[in-house]
Structure 1
Amino acid sequence: MLKDAQGLVVTTYSANAIAAINRFLDQMLGYGKDAETAVLQAIAADPTCALAHAYAAAYYLTQENRKAWQLALPYLQTAQQYCTKVTAREKLYIQAILAWANQEIDVAIATHEEIANQFPRDLISVQQGQYHYFYTGNKEKLLEIAQKVLPSNPQQHYLYGMVAFGLEQCHQLKAAEKIARQAIALNRYDPWAHHAIAHIMETQGRVDEGIAWMESFADTWEDCNSMLYTHNWWHIALYYLQLKNYEKVLKLYDTHIWERANKQSPKDQVGAISLLLRLELRGVDVENRWQNISPYLYSRIDEHALPFQDLHYVYALAKAEHHDWVNQMLQSMQYHTLSINPFLRRSWVEVAIPAARGMVAHAKGDFNTTVAALKPVLPRLHEIGGSHAQRVLFGQVYQDAVLSAQKQSWDYGITA
């Protein structure tokens, strides 16, 4: 058996498979666009390597859409087929990805924690543990799982970026900026560390500095996957939004966000939707951009990969006036809650579905219903995931609805 670049044993005798796995690790940790190619090369080099198959399944699961899930399952089945003689770490990792595929996110989290405890140099596992904490709203554990493996990974810039983001989400901004800058000093091409500082500067109102900072690294994002490429530009657009330079925001949307998006990617779609909504809340006419997005959302109606994503989809469909699709999606969300485990079900039933109704009401101009639906769930919106910068949008929708409802009431009183 051979070791990967992390110094961890992989059950394979193929040097080519190890080389491809190392490329995959670097691509995943660095949000590169060639992760899929790398992991498929690893499988081609050694079709019996269970870990390579599990990595492929994990890659497809990160796409958070039904087509990718279907691609993941055969790889996961093959990983299980060859897992009888693998190491304890590999076996745990396969179990974590199987739990993810089964939507047993609590089990997946517990398994990634076990890997972090026993094999702290397994940064892909740490990254995926953070991913699950992010989308279940547990910012403290998102930070903790990365911090606890720091002693085993000195000078590892990818991990520094992961810790920086966790610190930022826990409002430890000074410490977050320090370690993010350490990551970038080790490797200028670390987009997640750039991203962490984008959050910090936005939170602190360092708008001009944030623009200069992010734009100075934009050349390094050309080899990023579409998710982080568009998301980092999304952060730049938020800075210009704060400056009320709406023409610039629309230009960034058209050139670096929707234009460069993978139109089938849920995360790319969510970024585009959230930026259009932010613009409209400021009174900007986004013209036909809702209609341009909506055809790509039909396949999302019955998917329900993440409640955070669903709130964006259903709003965009309502804005594009696909009211039948909206009703179908709301009904489908309700039905979805019957088939998921209790760990996820509560947030769907008590937070996501009421919030979705509120978002639809806002899109339709029914502001009283928006206020009634969103007010009770705002304190719990962290449970459906997303960052502070992303979730603040729902509070803005609520505030807009409050003001609009008051205005409607006032106008009605005058005309009556």
Structure 2
Amino acid sequence: MATDAIDLSISGGANGADAHLMRGVADLQCFIGDPVGAANAAIEADPDTVMAHVLKGYLYGLSTEPTAGPVVRAAHGAAVALPANPRERVHVAALGHLAEGRWHDAGRVLADLTGEHPRDALALQAGHQIDFFTGNAPMLRARIERALPAWDESMAGYHAMLGMRAFGLEENADYGAAERAGRRAVEMNPRDGWAQHAVAHVMEMQCRQREGIAWMRGNADHWTKESFLQVHNWWHLALYHFDLGETDEVLALYDGPIFGARSTIALNMVDASAILWRLHLGGVDVGDRWTPLAAQWAPHAGASAYAFNDMHAIMAFVAGGREEEAARLLAAQDEAVAGAGDNAGFTRDVGRPIARALHAFGRGDYAQTVRLLNAVRSRAHSFGGSHAQRDVIDLTLIEAAIRSGDRAMAGRLTAERAAQREASPMSGILRQRADAITAA
């Protein structure tokens, strides 16, 4: 029986399959390289390597791609038929939940697993991503901190433990500890894109725009090389410039590393929509940039796979004038609510009201936008994403309140934002606009 990089037993692993598996996990920990290719190579070398099938299933299942389901179910079907030790069987069970859209159940199973095996790097990695996609901020921190006493700097992948801890701390507003952990992780492995991004989140939340720009620019050669997180990290850089009102820089980043390659990966298109919509709210002329982005979102209109992605798809349909696709997506969300799996709840509780609010915004029905968004903003975390990503909901709500002439609502919202983000130039601009309504 083979073992992994920290001596956990692996069933199978012959003919170098164990090395391929470990390479896949290491790539995933940095968000670099080709972990899917590594999983496939492990399966080809020894099809009885159950954790290779599990790794492949996690990678597809956590992609949020609408076409990933059959691959995840096939990976689970292959894994469940293979000999496995007790630890691996728990992984297979978690993958089974994920294959059926039961994100919360998968996360709980993996938490139990790492309670018994705190050095299971893949269980921690997959569980952390599930916590992110389900908006479970307490577990983003707790899952990693419970396991950390079993780790030390001599162990392979320790940088990833620190990087995940950094992001969990940041999402729980422990910014000082988050930044220290993230910086240490990047020192240990400069290619750790998740740790790089955790520090970027800290600086975003603390409105340290110039420091954030320097942080991202100073390490770009490392976090961009062969990285499948690089579009998201470029988006973080664009956020700093957006808050400073430097729209030319934002558009240059959009036309270059954010959407220049016209990626059709859902999570990359999320970032493209997210930054263009922020400009759209501010009345910035973005030319015809919505047209190709909306066209790439169009195949997603017929099905709701993940409500958080739906929000960004409908941004493109609304701003890009694709009413037919917007209507199809709204209908698909109605079907999703009646379906199985956790996305039914994500959509019912948060995703569908937000999509309808954005659709109303596009029609100029700003009062309806305010009603819908104000009703869900306090629970918006439950459909996933980070504080920085979900900030677009508040920005849309504020803009709708201002455009609707709702003086009281605009005043309350902008005062709240100014208190939370005092050093943000954007906060000041929005407060001035709200005050102008009051004085009218």
What TM-score, normalized by structure 2, do the two folds share? 0.88
Other-structure match for 1:90 = 88
Structure 2 residue 113 is the aligned partner of structure 1 residue 115: yes
Query: Which range moves more in the overlay, 91-100 or 46-55?
Result: 46-55
Other-structure match for 2:163 = 161
Which of 175, 190, 193 is 2:192 aligned to? Answer: 190
Question: What amino acid maps onto 2:26 in structure 1?
Answer: D
Other-structure match for 1:16 = 16
Query: Which range moves more in the overlay, 127-136 or 267-276?
Result: 127-136
Q: Partners in 2 of 1:350 and 1:231 — Cα distance?
A: 26
Structure 2 residue 227 is the aligned partner of structure 1 residue 225: yes
Q: Partners in 1 of 2:310 and 2:104 — Cα distance?
A: 21
Other-structure match for 1:414 = none
Other-structure match for 2:356 = 357
- DSSP-derived class of the 1:67 partner: coil
Q: Partners in 2 of 1:88 and 1:302 — Cα distance?
A: 40
Q: Partners in 1 of 2:221 and 2:112 — Cα distance?
A: 38
Other-structure match for 1:170 = 172
Other-structure match for 2:295 = 295
Query: Which range moves more in the overlay, 22-31 or 304-313?
Result: 304-313
Q: Partners in 2 of 1:330 and 1:67 — Cα distance?
A: 19
What TM-score, normalized by structure 1, do the two folds share? 0.93
Q: Indicate the RMSD between aligned Cα atoms, in angstroms.
A: 1.6
Question: What amino acid maps onto 1:389 in structure 2?
Answer: A
Conservation of the 8 A alpha-carbon contact between 2:336 and 2:343: no
Superposed displacement of residue 225, structure 1 = 3.5
Conservation of the 8 A alpha-carbon contact between 1:24 and 1:35: yes
- DSSP-derived class of the 1:148 partner: helix
Q: Partners in 1 of 2:21 and 2:208 — Cα distance?
A: 39
Question: What amino acid maps onto 1:269 in structure 2?
Answer: M
Q: Partners in 1 of 2:129 and 2:80 — Cα distance?
A: 23
Question: What amino acid maps onto 2:9 in structure 1?
Answer: V
Superposed displacement of residue 13, structure 1 = 4.7
Superposed displacement of residue 245, structure 1 = 1.1
- DSSP-derived class of the 2:125 partner: helix
The C-alpha deviation readout for 1:292-343, integer Å capped at 9, x for no partner, is 11111122123322211111111211211111211111111011111124x5
Other-structure match for 1:399 = 398
The runs of 5 or more residues in structure 1 that have no matched partner are: 409-416
Conservation of the 8 A alpha-carbon contact between 2:186 and 2:192: yes
Q: Partners in 2 of 1:315 and 1:77 — Cα distance?
A: 36
Which of 178, 181, 205 is 1:203 aligned to? Answer: 205
Other-structure match for 2:427 = none
Question: What amino acid maps onto 1:332 in structure 2?
Answer: A
Other-structure match for 1:412 = none
Question: What amino acid maps onto 1:362 in structure 2?
Answer: F
Q: Partners in 2 of 1:63 and 1:136 — Cα distance?
A: 13
Superposed displacement of residue 72, structure 1 = 2.7
1:195-344 residue pairs with structure 2 within 5 A? 195-226=197-228, 228-260=229-261, 263-341=263-341, 344=343
Conservation of the 8 A alpha-carbon contact between 1:318 and 1:326: yes
- DSSP-derived class of the 2:405 partner: helix
Conservation of the 8 A alpha-carbon contact between 1:319 and 1:364: no
Q: Partners in 2 of 1:260 and 1:150 — Cα distance?
A: 38
Alignment coverage as a number of residue pairs = 403
- DSSP-derived class of the 1:375 partner: helix
The C-alpha deviation readout for 1:268-295, integer Å capped at 9, x for no partner, is 0000000001112222111111111111
